[in-house]
Amino acid sequence: MNGQGLGFPLFPPRASVLADRVDTLFFFLLALTGLVTLIVATLVIVFAVRYRRRPGRAIAPSQTAGSTLLELAWTIVPGLLFVVPFVWGARLYVDAAVPPPNALTITAIGKQWMWKFQHQGGQREIDSLHVPLGRPVRLLLTSEDVIHSLYIPAFRMKQDVLPGRYTTVWFQADRTGDFHLFCSEFCGTAHSRMGGQVTVMQPEAYERWLALGASESLASRGSKLFQQLGCNTCHRGDSLQRAPGLVGLYGRPVQLTDGRIVTADEDYLRESIVEPASKIVLGWQPIMPTFKGRVTDDELLQLVAYIRSLEPPAPEPFAPEGQPLFPAERRQGR
């Protein structure tokens, strides 16, 4: 199957929960389309040979115009058959779009031509990504320049990375080892060199690896930045505040002045920092200045991580149970 005997692979390694499910769908499609192709090819060859023109028979003896019954059959039957791969593929896609609440978040910035990853504990890596086995990992992705796309074939996972916006993707690795990591959206000269390796490690090994590179956590850096930029003078969280409070904001619905309700996800937080006037929270004045150009993409991610980490004092029914607070989780890890 995987072409071991040939000396080169015919099938990619599988290293995530999703990969098995995608491959099953792939084989289903392969069987379905293979069968239909085989039938068509056989009929074409058999008909062409069997009914080849013979001397004395210039035209075909039967000049049928067609058959409405047959036409309806081969219109409706494929139509019904197609429901299966559509629903199947859609289910997997939606599952792959929504990470479980306990997923570990790792940030990734694509830039010409490298991938910069940062773990919540502040550990940085370039063109390589270490992840634990058996634990959902959510990647928060953005780009500093053009569109890139993070592609890990062994996980059957791919997500475009856009400038000025956060996208996310998640996976749960189920096999240890090193796997290819590519950029799959053309991004300029060294596009084909923009990649590296994903290393899936046993959880204990992963913790040891994290400890080696540990530095200040993202949220803690974000907290300092929050003070330095003076955000806390308005977002104070007390009766004197001139801006909405941020504690427990993450993941909650927000009512805007123009009537829309949006969810305070990471992309909303990012936009509210760089383009504050575009979404004004109901009951507040549009007085916040833009921080576009005043914070780097890295710093933006730190600020977002900090706001994310601001948990409300009492557990909200909204916040899924066991949601890791990253600083706390780091302590557990050691």
Q: Please list every residue from 37 through 56 that binds other proteins, using CB under 8 A.
A: 37, 40-41, 43-44, 47-48, 51-54
Of 250, 275, 309, 303, give the one whose Cα is nearest residue 165: 275
Is residue 22 near other proteins by the rule CB under 8 A? yes
Closest approach of Cβ 295 to other proteins, in Å?
A: 14
Q: Scanning residues 281 to 310, which ones bind other proteins (CB under 8 A)?
A: 286, 290, 292
Our finding on whether 208 is near other proteins (CB under 8 A) is no
Residue 208 or 260 having the CB closest to other proteins:
260
> Long-range contacts of range 286-292, CB-CB < 8 Å, 24 or more positions apart?
287/234, 287/242, 287/243, 288/234, 288/243, 291/229
Query: Cα-atom radius of gyration of the chain, to the nearest Å?
Result: 27
Question: β-strands 124-126, 114-119: how paired?
Answer: antiparallel
Which residues lie closer than 8 Å to 185 by C-beta, 6 or more apart? Answer: 147, 148, 149, 160, 161
**Contact at 8 Å (CB) between 163 and 25?**
no
Contact 108, 157 (CB under 8 A): no
Q: Looking at residue 289, what DSSP letter applies?
A: P
Give the one residue of 15, 137, 154, 173 binding other proteins; rule: CB under 8 A.
154
- 25 binding other proteins? (CB under 8 A): yes
Q: How many CA atoms lie within 13 A of 278 on its CB side?
A: 12
Residue 100-139 contact track with other proteins, rule CB under 8 A, x = bound:
-x----------x-------------------------x-
Q: Does 20 bind other proteins (CB under 8 A)?
A: no
Single out the residue of 334, 303, 322, 327 nearest to residue 135, CA to CA.
Answer: 322
Under rule CB under 8 A, residue 157 binds other proteins: yes
146 touching other proteins, by CB under 8 A: yes
Longest CA–CA span in the chain (Å) reads 102
Using rule CB under 8 A, residue 200 touches other proteins: no
Task: Pick from 214, 234, 262, 325 the residue near other proteins by CB under 8 A.
Answer: 262
Instruction: Check binding of 71 to other proteins (CB under 8 A).
Output: yes
Near other proteins by CB under 8 A: residue from 4, 20, 31, 74? 74
Binding segment for other proteins (CB under 8 A), chosen from 86-94, 215-223, 228-236, 309-317, is: 86-94
Q: Which stretch binds other proteins (CB under 8 A): 164-172, 236-244, 296-304, 326-334?
A: 164-172
Q: Does 1 bind other proteins (CB under 8 A)?
A: no
Taking CB under 8 A as the rule, does residue 239 contact other proteins? no
- To the nearest 10°, report the CA torsion of 91, 95, 96, 102: -170
Q: Does 69 bind other proteins (CB under 8 A)?
A: no
Instruction: Identify which of 155, 176, 181 has the alpha carbon closest to the alpha carbon of residue 14.
Output: 155
Stretch of 119-127, 147-155, 204-212, 227-235 contacting other proteins, by CB under 8 A: 147-155
